[in-house]
Amino acid sequence: MIKLSVNVNKIATLRNSRGGDIPNLSEYSQLILESGADGLTIHPRSDERHVRKADVPTLLKLVRSFNKAKRTQKEFNIEGAPDKRFLKIVLDNKPDQATLVPVSPGEITSDHGFNLSRDSKTLIPLIKKLKKERIRVSLFVDAGVKNLEIAREIGADRIELYTGPYAEAYDRSREKGSSSLKLYEKTAIEAKKAGLEINAGHDLDHKNIILFRSLTGLKEVSIGHRLISYALIIGLEAAVKTYIRNLAKEI
């Protein structure tokens, strides 16, 4: 079963655009978990344009309390740039998973993965500290990434495939999406051979996920923007349940 982690950044963005606490991030995150999502993902950027540093312990407590009350195992995933600020947030809160993502100044959203040969020296000490606290580590990478075995050698448990190019191809046609998926499949097979588990995320929606779910070894998808956008049409609970249903649907 492929797990669905819902990125709640867009809910926080809406809240921040007006000030105050509407929509309430905890209330909507609770609804997401109650709707069947397997966990929550956040990306607390340094400019705090969506999820803020102060939101992190609140959401962590929400997930842990939900698990205790429901006797379940929902997960909390924090993603962000491999820097001192991010490391402190993660070590202070100890999520189930930390997803390391390269960040470019001024970017609207994450749009590329790590160059493992170039970036490994920066990643090694950070990963070592995270693994010491028994936090699962995932590295954000592009399909077709070079030297994928380096990810495992430096201590990562998983990769998260950047699926923006796949989503853009699928938007043009299902056939183009299918063609794009071939490179992701090749990368997934290489990841599995290297001993890595596989996550994926970015612009996956309730339609293109039906094709993408066939990817070899796919463990988890992290979805925010398109799920929340779809929720504006059918409601948040229905959107989460649609994604879950379509992740389980056979091709």
Residue whose structure tokens are 């799920």: 227
DSSP string covering 24-82, please? -HHHHHHHHHHTT-SEEEE---TT-SSS-TTHHHHHHHHHHHHHHHHT---EEEEEE-S
What CA–CA distance (Å, rounded) separates 208 from 165? 12
Dihedral (C-alpha) 17, 21, 22, 27: value to the nearest 10 degrees?
130
Q: List active site positions.
A: 43, 79, 202
Annotated domain spans of the chain: 3-248
pLDDT value of position 4: 98
Tell me, which fold does domain 3-248 have in CATH? TIM Barrel (3.20.20)
d(CA 220, CA 234): 23
Taking a C-beta distance cutoff of 8 angstroms, is the pair 121, 82 a contact?
A: no
C-beta neighbour count of 119 within 10 angstroms: 17
- pLDDT tens digits, the chain, 251 residues: what are they? 899 999 999 999 999 999 899 999 999 999 999 999 999 999 999 999 999 999 999 999 999 999 999 999 999 999 999 999 999 999 999 999 999 999 876 666 666 889 999 999 999 999 999 999 999 999 999 999 989 999 999 999 999 999 999 999 999 999 999 999 999 999 999 999 999 999 999 999 999 999 999 999 999 999 999 999 999 999 999 999 999 999 996 54
108: exposed, middle or buried (C-beta count within 10 Å: 0-12, 13-18, 19+)? exposed
For residue 107, the model assigns a pLDDT of 61
Return all residues near 244 (Cβ < 8 A) that are at least 6 apart. 4, 36, 37
